[in-house]
Amino acid sequence: MKVTEHIKKAEGKTQFSFEILPPLKGQHIQSIFDNIDPLMEFKPPFIDVTYHREEYLYKEVENGLLRKQVVKKRPGTVGICAAIQNKYGVDAIPHILCGGFTKEDTENFLVDLDFLDIDNVMALRGDAVKSETYFRPEKEGHSYASELVTQIEELNNGKYLDEELQNTAATNFCIGVAAYPEKHMEAPCIESDIHFLKKKIKNGATYIVTQMFFDNQKYFNFVEKCREEGITVPIIPGLKPIATKKQLNLIPHRFHVDLPENLILEVVKCKDNNAVRQVGIEWCIAQSRELRKAGIPVLHYYSMGKSTNIKTIAEAVF
Ligand code: FAD
């Protein structure tokens, strides 16, 4: 079922959902199930599965020369989605990127998803590959998520890349896109970012999931700005509990979000990471309760492959 239908069906009740990462190559899919199992009692209407593009490694060969090697450390997004739908009967949402995909790759990926009865996709641009500073699209690929949304929407209307294809089957994907309450790192200002977010909606996206944030007021302000600009689709907040002291620097660096001073002070006081986890859980419970009280339709948790803290939060909130 589509995310938008799940929201409608819940009739105002806040639902619980979460995102997982494919395991590192070489690990068994059981590691994924072990993290999903404890969260199933909270009846997630959908589970997101991230997509991880290739990385370039340089390995030393004879004569000190370097050989470029392309590796995918976390393959398996589509397979995991199929396994989740099969095992749990819950909608799995694969993330799909512009980065590393030509339009043809995208179309073929979408055909697979359609054959697997996957009803939703999260359309993203992706970041630059690790060894590069700026995002570079494939030669025959998309530069922005809004263009990817257009291609998915065209497939939803039975329009394939090869115009000579006949009797084409239309897909029926519900399309989600990303948004950043604290602005995407490359956007010159929040207004510009919202302008392009609006374009993703105009091109066919019907719901939004936000980057993580630790201060609800930033989310509320962002939603207000989006509504003023005429964006009416659901804006699902993304939440992540802090779990280690290192994340005080890692999260701002990696995700370009601020941490509130009170949260930082609490974390700094902690003797070890067990204490940090507890602070992170309590902070996230407080955030979740406030969002729930505000009537937000879905709270979406970034599990990063570890479910124990998310389970504790869900027990307290749902
Ligand atoms: P876009 O919407 O294309 O925006 C990128 C930047 O370009 C923004 O600054 C925007 O303002 C600007 N922009 C947009 N259109 C135009 C235009 N026409 N002209 C000029 N500027 C423009 N990454 C992964 O690799 N795998 C994942 O599974 C994944 N899942 C994610 C899930 C969520 C909920 C979120 C919030 C992020 C996720 N990401 C993932 C990270 C995401 O790929 C990066 O944040 C990426 O840098 C931007 O993706 P986007 O889809 O928001 O890009």
Q: Which amino acid is at 123?
A: A
Alpha carbon 167 to its chain centroid, in Å, reads 34
Does 93 sit in the ligand 1 pocket, CB within 6 Å?
Answer: no
Cβ atoms of residues 48 and 300 within 8 Å: yes
Q: Which of 18, 125, 177 to mutate to test the pocket of ligand 1 (most atoms within 8 A of CB)?
A: 125
Q: Using the atom order of ligand 1, give the atom closest to the CA of residue 187.
A: 9
pTM of this prediction exceeds 0.95: yes
d(Cα 156, Cα 3) in Å, to the nearest integer? 16
For the chain, the structural domain boundaries read 3-317
Does 32 sit in the ligand 1 pocket, CB within 6 Å?
Answer: no
pLDDT score of 31: 94
Strand, helix or coil at 106?
A: helix
Name 234's Cβ contacts closer than 8 Å, sequence gap at least 6. 3, 4, 7, 207, 208, 297, 298
pLDDT score of 55: 87
Strand partners, 47: 18, 92
Ligand 1 center to 190 CA (angstroms):
14
Looking up tokens 């990063």 gives 304
d(Cα 239, Cα 180) in Å, to the nearest integer? 12
Tokens of 84: 């989740």
Residue nearest to atom 11 of ligand 1 (CA): 193
The neighbour count for residue 146, using CB atoms within 10 Å, is 22
Strand partners, 60: 66
d(Cα 139, Cα 101) in Å, to the nearest integer? 9
pLDDT score of 305: 78
Does 97 sit in the ligand 1 pocket, CB within 6 Å?
Answer: yes
pLDDT score of 64: 87
d(Cα 222, Cα 105) in Å, to the nearest integer? 34
* CA-wise closest residue to 289 among 243, 244, 227, 239: 239
Does 124 sit in the ligand 1 pocket, CB within 6 Å?
Answer: yes
Name 42's Cβ contacts closer than 8 Å, sequence gap at least 6. 16, 314, 318
pLDDT tens track, the chain, 318 positions? 999 999 999 999 999 999 999 999 999 999 999 999 999 999 999 999 999 999 888 888 888 898 888 899 999 999 999 999 999 999 999 999 999 999 999 999 999 999 999 999 999 999 999 888 999 999 999 999 999 999 999 999 999 999 999 889 999 999 999 999 999 999 999 999 999 999 999 999 999 999 999 999 999 999 999 999 999 999 999 999 999 999 999 999 999 999 999 999 999 999 999 999 999 999 999 999 999 999 999 999 999 878 999 999 999 999
Strand partners, 198: none
Domain 3-317 grouped into CATH 3.20.20.220: yes
Ligand 1 center to 274 CA (angstroms):
33
Does 127 sit in the ligand 1 pocket, CB within 6 Å?
Answer: yes
pLDDT score of 58: 86
Does 145 sit in the ligand 1 pocket, CB within 6 Å?
Answer: yes
Does 175 sit in the ligand 1 pocket, CB within 6 Å?
Answer: no
d(Cα 181, Cα 123) in Å, to the nearest integer? 18
d(Cα 145, Cα 199) in Å, to the nearest integer? 10
